[in-house]
Amino acid sequence: MGKPSKWKCYTCRVEMEKVLDISVKFRKFNLPKAEGLRCPQCGVQYLESDYVAEQVSPAEEILSGK
């Protein structure tokens, strides 16, 4: 199994940039900046964890109150 090296924006089909300042919003909470991916063209942002199906975002885990 090789790991994917490059992510592409679904809309623009350009390579996403890896950034460390994704602004995270969960419901009405503003969470600390996170590592993720941003499309240089349309500016859409994804958390890295969004791509990793088996990994639950730690922030969401905390805020869901479990």
**Site size toward Zn ion, by CB under 5 A:** 6
CB of 15 to Zn ion, least distance (A): 10
Out of 11, 23, 55, 64, name the contact with Zn ion by CB under 5 A: 11
Find residue 24's DSSP bridge partners: 31
CB of 14 to Zn ion, least distance (A): 6
What is the signed CA dihedral for 39, 43, 46, 48, rounded to 10 degrees? Answer: 50
Out of 21, 29, 33, 41, name the contact with Zn ion by CB under 5 A: 41
Cα–Cα distance for residue pair 47/27, rounded to 1 Å: 15
